[in-house]
Amino acid sequence: MEKAKTCATCHGDEGISSIESYPNLQGQKMGYLMTALRSYQTRERSSGLAVLMQQQADALSDQDIADIAYYYSKLGSDANKQ
Amino acid sequence: MEKAKTCATCHGDEGISSIESYPNLQGQKMGYLMTALRSYQTRERSSGLAVLMQQQADALSDQDIADIAYYYSKLGSDANKQ
Rounded CA-CA distance A25/B70 in Å is 18
Q: If you measure CA to CA, which chain A residue comes closest to B42?
A: A47
Q: Please count the other Cβ atoms lying within 10 Å of the Cβ belonging to residue B45.
A: 26
Tell me what the mean pLDDT of segment B42-71 comes to: 96
Rounded CA-CA distance B20/A48 in Å is 26
B36 burial (CB, 10 Å; 0-12 / 13-18 / 19+) is buried
pLDDT at position A81 is 43
| Continuous segment of H or E residues that includes residue B55 | helix B50-58
Give A9's pLDDT tier (boundaries 50, 70, 90): very high
Domains of chain A: 4-77 (1.10.760.10)
pTM: 0.91
How many percent of chain B have pLDDT more than 90?
87
pLDDT at position A48 is 81
B31 contacts in chain A (CB < 8 Å) = 19-21
Higher pLDDT, B78 or A21: A21
Cα of B78 to nearest chain A Cα, Å: 9
Say yes or no to pLDDT of B80 above 50.
no
In 3-state terms, what secondary structure has residue A15? coil
Provide the sign of the torsion angle of the four alpha carbons A39, A43, A46, A50, taken in this order. Answer: positive
Cα of A54 to nearest chain B Cα, Å: 13
Say yes or no to pLDDT of A32 above 80.
yes
Write down the ipTM of this complex: 0.88
Rounded CA-CA distance B60/A72 in Å is 30
